[in-house]
């Protein structure tokens, strides 16, 4: 449901592609050697906490965003 896929060893690069199905929201954390990747997806937005040293390719509303470390809010 979170749609997290590690693309490089150590979690340096990940892909995020949520699969909410009929859920209104889903959230969780994925532990990596760089720290926890925290994700909260809703039907209208997202909040992502990407640890330092990680790059995330995020599939969101028919586009792909490349995000670096930090807290990101998508709407």
The pLDDT of residue 34 is above 90 = yes
pTM, 2 dp: 0.92
Measure CA of the first residue to CA of the last residue in the chain; give whole Å: 18
Q: Say how many domains are in the chain.
A: 1
Tens-digit pLDDT profile for residues 2-33: 999 999 999 999 999 999 999 999 999 999 99
Is 51 in contact with 36 (CB distance < 8 Å)?
yes
Domain with residue 33: its CATH number is 2.60.420.10
Is 30 in contact with 16 (CB distance < 8 Å)?
no
Element housing 21 (H / E): none
Domain containing 69 equals 4-74
């Amino acid at each position: 449901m979170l749609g997290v896929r590690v693309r490089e060893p150590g979690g340096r690069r990940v892909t995020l592609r949520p699969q909410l199905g009929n859920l209104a929201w889903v959230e969780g954390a994925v532990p990596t050697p760089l720290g926890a990747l925290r994700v909260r997806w809703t039907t209208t937005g997202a909040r992502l906490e990407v640890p330092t040293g990680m790059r995330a390719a995020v599939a969101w509303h028919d586009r792909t965003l490349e995000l670096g470390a930090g807290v990101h809010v998508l709407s």
